[in-house]
Structure 1
């Protein structure tokens, strides 16, 4: 999976609770990351702390599961947040939204100074918030796409990359469509923390649109 070209940016995958099917589910993302960056996976807390304190400094850190919400792994989360506050980029994604306990989300992001908490879990079509991403990046991102995702609430509009609108409905093969337009919620957010940026992607099915979003947050779109 990892490349060895030291001229490429370094992307760290923090995967303390790596599941056997992660690589298959996220094959497209891993392939695209590896074509643009050196990708290194970390599966132990002490390695996360050491690598983020000693270097080389990564271009981005992807937190791929819920393990850092647990008290025994709090040192790794603090190391990630310290890296972000010093100008780094981290994105919480992958299996995090599928396996995190909803009550653990608020205290997890509170450590970053963010008020996000667990919100709607549903499939709906979201629309790109061009004001949040800017015109240049908006040209590279899907204008709208459907995803089954766990949203977070208390999100500032300027931090929500994708939002619901009046056309967004709960997409279900069982139930009649109802409005999914909730102000303040989003499953795709990217906020400033200190001198860096912290993102969250709640998509549980690795939609291709979300792959593009990860690349964008990691500044790897070209």
Structure 2
């Protein structure tokens, strides 16, 4: 297990708010049990802290998506490409405008885009994740979260979107969000619909509330939970490698 002497975690909170300490209290406590924790709330000290190559960086708000903090986001990307780990979480998801997700992640070379925000049940992508990670995470993630599209195998949890069609393949417009066959929300007329002789269900696309992609030699993670949860804490600890 990592110890405070050899692991330092950096929280970047350039839009720091008075209530943020309470919001992140549980994850901060978990981290401080196994690593040292540093907060950066001003650009210049943040740049110095990034240059010292922490074990992991948490982007706790949407500040780095704003033009005036572009230099800091560039520094984080360089840190990632040289082997670092950064995780977008917390107020990042509450406050980032939906049309800015694509541009933000594209700057790191990813095609991730905003898909939707909802309370959904998503299933662990255990076939993609290393065994030491999948073994410590819950198989189902049920949360109110931002979901990303175009994530592919970088998804840690996956929600399938399906549509009911007639046998000839023409959609009747009824959309239901599913997670491995478990309904999470029904936007049509039926609940728990089943394929029959007149209709069938076809997967349209998948979205992810949790993802982590390799960028250069390092990794950029995303935890879309809008409110703190024990599941999200476990995921973030695993992402930054402090479960070892």
Q: Which has the larger radius of gyration?
A: 2
Off by >6 Å, runs of 4+ in structure 1: 175-179
User: Which secondary structure does the structure 1 equivalent of 2:228 belong to?
Assistant: coil
**Which residue of structure 2 aligns with residue 167 of structure 1?**
182
TM-score, with length taken from structure 2: 0.81
1:29 aligns to what SS in structure 2? Answer: helix
> Quick check: which one's helix share is greater?
1
Deviation at 1:168, TM superposition (A): 4.0
Aligned length: 212
Provide Cα deviations, 1:137-161, integer angstroms capped at 9, x if missing partner: 11111111211001111111x2000
What is the TM-score normalised by the length of structure 1?
A: 0.89
Helix, strand or coil for the counterpart of 2:44?
helix
CA distance in 1, matches of 2:42, 2:103: 22
Higher strand share: 2
Residue aligning to 2:57: 61
- Alignment gaps of 5+ in structure 1: none
Give me the whole-angstrom Cα distance separating, in 1, the residues matched to 2:118 and 2:191.
11
State the distance in 1 between where 2:75 and 2:114 align.
23
- Listed as ranges, the matches of 1:47-196 within 5 Å are 47-53=45-51, 55=52, 57-156=53-152, 158-164=153-159, 165=179, 166-170=181-185, 183-196=205-218
Contact 2:4/2:34, CA 8 A, preserved across alignment: no
Distance 2:4 2:50 in 1: 17
2:237 alignment counterpart? 215
Distance of 1:77 and 1:124 partners within structure 2: 30
Distance 1:149 1:50, change over 3 A: same
